[in-house]
Structure 1
Amino acid sequence: MSTSTALPTGDAVVQSLPWRWGVQGRIFVVGGLGFMFDAWDVTLNGVLIPLLSAHWSLAPADAAWIGTANLIGMAVGAFAWGTIADTVGRKAAFTATLLIFSVFTLAGALSPDIVWFSVFRFLAGFGLGGCVPVDYALVGEFTPRRERGRVLTAMDGWWPVGAALCGFVSAWLVGTFADWRLPLLVMVLPALLVFWVRRGVPESPLFLLRKGRAAEARAVIDALVARTGAEAVEYRLPEPHEVPRLSPGSWVTQLVRVWRYDWKVTGVAWALFFSVLLVYYLALTWMPKILIGAGFADYRAFLTTAGMAAVGLLGVIVAALLVERVGRKWILAITGPLSALTLVVVAWVVDVPAAAVGWLLAFGFVVQVAIPVLYAYVSELYPTELRGSGFGWASTFSRIGAGVGPLVFAAWFWPALGLAVSFALAGALVLLSVAWMAASAPETRQQSLD
């Protein structure tokens, strides 16, 4: 073995650096703020459905398009931005997503009817849909290997923060001003601020190596070593892998590569994303409407949903504490089905306010143990050149399900079968998904990214 090949690679050096809040932690915070806006926007669908149903006299099936258009836009954005991130770089994609979201959120607040509103919500969702896959790819590639599971799991802590802020702020705005446009407009200014901050985040050295930009990659790695105070060591830069050019067909190429890499792994990733997040989005989209129908006042329904989201922060903390000790698969196998079962209990007791609130808080806790572990797990199943696309396509599949699922739920299942049975059917999908995971997907705890 030659001396050069015995040296550690540059990406191995990055993954072995000590964790510093002023270095990797800054990227975690900036990436997490984008994730927070994703949560805020998705939660806002549940707030807007009852408000716009009254404002434009919408039937439930028509009101469902408020969430469906937004989530399908996020689905398109998830695979589009994941592919763009793998092609032009994490940083460029990381910066642009929130700008597009801000522009079309503002346009949505000026909509004259449900058709234009749905169009603008789709376009805002397209921009924001890139935040999750791009942010996870970038944060994961800057994070030391021994901390990666905890950090990627902790990323989901931004979700309950955003969802809770949406509920609390919306309850106050609607209760004080009674205007559905204000909950939309209040997001735009901080989103633009985060867009500006994102411009200072460095490009991922792993991406630069794959692109063949060795000098830039070495500069980023050397700066990281110096800023973390780690001992400088000699390292080598591996030969660059092929990175596809940005073209109309590049997303098809990446989709084929994701499935060709390992069809069982990709199938498990898609099934888990679809089923676990379907359960969560059903609750997030329709719970305010369900609670209002059960006799809750508007502001109380929004506050209850905000509480459901806020208690999820405790779930994220528990997930971060357990993920490296227990492993990804065991946590998902337990908390995924348990979250669905808890939601079924909510449906049984929804006419008893105290019981409904208690079980909703339990649901919010359990599901937010499952979701951050799911995100960390799927982001680790793929090598660097497919990480953005692999995660993005799984996210796309889940967003399609989350968009179409609540529409089907409101139009057919809920009226025909009732709340409890409809939620139980979603739970059955979670059981099937975790069984497939147990049989076909590897545990990724403490494994190298490549």
Structure 2
Amino acid sequence: MTSRRIIALVLLAGVFIMEGFDIAAMSLAVPRLEVSLGLDPAGFGWVFTALLVGLGLGGALIAPLGDRFGRRTLIVLGCLGTGLATLGTASSSDIEHFLFWRTVTGLALGACLPNVSALSSELAPEKMRATLMAVVSAGIPVGLALAGLLAPELIAVLGWQGLFLVPGGFAVVLAGTLFLALEGGAPAREPADAAAPKAKLPQLVLFSAPWLFPFAVFAAMLAFNALNLYLLNSWLPTVLPGAGLSLDDAARVAGVANLAGLGIGIGASLLLDRWHKGLTLALLFGSMAASFAMIALTAPDQTRWTLLLMVGVGGANAGGMVLPGLCAYLFPARLLSSAVGMGVLVARLGAFAGPPLGGAMIAAKVPAQTFLGVAAIPALVCVLVALLVSRALLVRQRVEPAAVTA
């Protein structure tokens, strides 16, 4: 790989760092807004969902344009829009303004992220696609961890607004850097296969033969993992104080747990490139389910729960890293942005349930053990779906015999 491509991949990872920090920022701010603005934490379920609605719409309606017009424009404008909307969130003073800015943030991220995943796949050597896509998307747990670990200091200096001012400013600067770095470098898209049919709406190709079954397998795992990802990252800083932790300790535990996803995700992606893809995913999600079940069966203990959350929450973040890599094996390059973008939309149908479900459990004063134990259920569903991956990979093998399969 050339140095230019390596620089491009590092900057693309920065987009995922921005996303991870942004996801954590709202959850870290919520327990503090009750004092600062008099807003009830239980009322923020739909604020968390607003981000997901925007992500789904942006991923389905805007991101696929990258397959036709190139990735660079979508990535730069999406990154810039995310930064401006995140800065806008820092000016919010009521639920309605939070709803508006989080929706706009989601639209911009949804337009950007599938193209980042697709471009990172195109820049990677063929036999390392899943690994390099995972390394790039490892920015998500890095961003989540940074938010948790830096939150006490940022809030001490800038108030809760600092949780949005810092990632917003970073995103604006990153957009300009990407504009310069991607210009004239590696192509923003891989040339389309000349033999491939030119569909006006490539998204619709995924809902017809032969791609419907692999897309359903991919999207189902995305959906149930996203439910866990947003359930946990939306409410963990609020739930853990109910188990006896301080707000600062809860933020740090959340940060450490998310950081564990970095190692888990890279390790799982290496296995995905070199071993059985379905079994790799089954082991990943099975470990998550076991960790949440153990939390449900044990009394609160900061050390023990931190270790278990590193497996459970870290595994959810790792799933978000690994599954786009699977997409590179399930679908040809001409469908990558569309597959990831539509996968984001379908996944949000599951993720939408996460924040309101958590809000309902918070309002019902469900114990922390039970709250976290519920996360074992979506993880078990992902295990069952992972068992269908080998069959889904056979579809591309039939259509494109030269494709790499499990």
Normalised-by-shorter TM-score class: 0.7 to 0.9
Match status 1:127 vs 2:108 = yes
Asked if structure 2 preserves the Cα contact closer than 8 Å seen for 1:273 and 1:395, the reply is yes
Greater CA drift, 129-138 or 56-65: 56-65
Partner amino acid, structure 2, of 1:190: F
Match status 1:427 vs 2:379 = yes
Show CA shifts across 1:3-43 (max 9, x none).
Answer: xxxxxxxxxxxxxxxx23x0321221121111111111112
Q: Which has the larger radius of gyration?
A: 1
* Superposition map of 1:31-430 within 5 A: 31-174=12-155, 176-177=156-157, 179-199=159-179, 200-201=181-182, 202=184, 205=187, 207=189, 209-210=191-192, 238=194, 242=198, 244=200, 253-260=201-208, 261-349=210-298, 351-411=300-360, 415=364, 418-419=370-371, 422-430=374-382
Shift of 1:73: 1.4
Partner amino acid, structure 2, of 1:194: L
What is the RMSD of the two structures over their aligned residues, measured on CA atoms?
2.8
Shift of 1:406: 2.1
* Structure 1 pair 433–120 and aligned structure 2 pair: CA distance change class (3 A): same
Shift of 1:390: 0.8
Shift of 1:140: 0.9
Asked if structure 2 preserves the Cα contact closer than 8 Å seen for 1:75 and 1:396, the reply is yes
Distance in 1 separating the partners of 2:237 and 2:336: 35
* Structure 1 pair 192–60 and aligned structure 2 pair: CA distance change class (3 A): closer
Partner amino acid, structure 1, of 2:105: A
Partner amino acid, structure 1, of 2:198: E
Unpaired segments of 5 or more residues in structure 1?
Answer: 1-18, 211-236, 245-252
Asked if structure 1 preserves the Cα contact closer than 8 Å seen for 2:122 and 2:190, the reply is no
Asked if structure 2 preserves the Cα contact closer than 8 Å seen for 1:149 and 1:376, the reply is yes
Distance in 1 separating the partners of 2:187 and 2:277: 26
Partner amino acid, structure 1, of 2:293: V
Shift of 1:99: 0.8
Show CA shifts across 1:240-295 (max 9, x none).
Answer: 85363xxxxxxxx3332111142111110110101122222222111111101222
Show CA shifts across 1:177-196 (max 9, x none).
Answer: 47211111111222111101
Distance in 2 separating the partners of 1:127 and 1:350: 41
Show CA shifts across 1:33-60 (max 9, x none).
Answer: 1111111111223212212244344445
Shift of 1:364: 4.1
Show CA shifts across 1:139-158 (max 9, x none).
Answer: 11122212223211222321
Shift of 1:307: 0.6
* Structure 1 pair 321–268 and aligned structure 2 pair: CA distance change class (3 A): closer
Greater CA drift, 302-311 or 356-365: 356-365
Paired residue for 1:227?
Answer: none
Shift of 1:169: 1.9
Greater CA drift, 182-191 or 57-66: 57-66
Show CA shifts across 1:342-390 (max 9, x none).
Answer: 1232344362222222211232444454432212002332222221011
Partner amino acid, structure 1, of 2:191: L
Distance in 2 separating the partners of 1:134 and 1:29: 15
Distance in 1 separating the partners of 2:94 and 2:335: 40
Asked if structure 1 preserves the Cα contact closer than 8 Å seen for 2:243 and 2:300, the reply is yes
Query: How many pairs are equivalent?
Result: 396
Distance in 2 separating the partners of 1:380 and 1:146: 10
* Structure 1 pair 448–419 and aligned structure 2 pair: CA distance change class (3 A): same
Partner amino acid, structure 2, of 1:256: L
Shift of 1:441: 4.2
Partner amino acid, structure 2, of 1:375: P
What secondary structure does 1:111 align onto?
coil
Partner amino acid, structure 2, of 1:432: L
* Structure 1 pair 350–243 and aligned structure 2 pair: CA distance change class (3 A): farther
Asked if structure 2 preserves the Cα contact closer than 8 Å seen for 1:49 and 1:66, the reply is no
Shift of 1:439: 4.6
Show CA shifts across 1:405-429 (max 9, x none).
Answer: 2212321698497425522332342
Distance in 2 separating the partners of 1:205 and 1:172: 40
What secondary structure does 1:349 align onto?
coil
* Structure 1 pair 443–162 and aligned structure 2 pair: CA distance change class (3 A): farther
Partner amino acid, structure 2, of 1:62: G
Paired residue for 1:232?
Answer: none
Distance in 2 separating the partners of 1:78 and 1:51: 31
